[in-house]
Amino acid sequence: RRRLEKLLNVEVMMPPSQDPERFSFWLATLSDRRPSERLELLRIRDTRERIRRGLIFLRAEEQGCRLQ
């Protein structure tokens, strides 16, 4: 139930698709990575790269594994 509540809250906070930069930072907040890994993701200056890596993190978490 908590997972469902979290997902619903996340969806409400999702920025519009017309703002990829805000979307990329929002995507970074979804990850359950260590703070240092999340900070590394947030420091990436290229929006497209930040989205790409954020999706990699989320897919890895979905599969239950960690990237090294």
Per-residue pLDDT of 19-61, as tens digits, reads: 999 999 988 888 888 999 999 999 999 999 999 999 998 888 8
Structural domain contains residue 51: yes
What is the value of pTM for the model shown?
A: 0.71
Q: Supply the pLDDT for residue 48.
A: 96
Is 68 inside a domain boundary?
A: no
5 membership: H or E segment, kind and range = helix 2-13
Q: Between residues 18 and 64, which one has the greater pLDDT?
A: 18
67 part of a folded domain:
no
Amino acid 4: pLDDT: 62
Domain tally, the chain: 1
pLDDT surpassing 90 at residue 10: no
Q: What angle do CA 20, 33, 6 make, to 5 degrees?
A: 70
In a domain, 42, yes or no: yes
In a domain, 41, yes or no: yes
Residue 50 in any domain: the answer is yes
Structural domain harbouring 48: 2-62
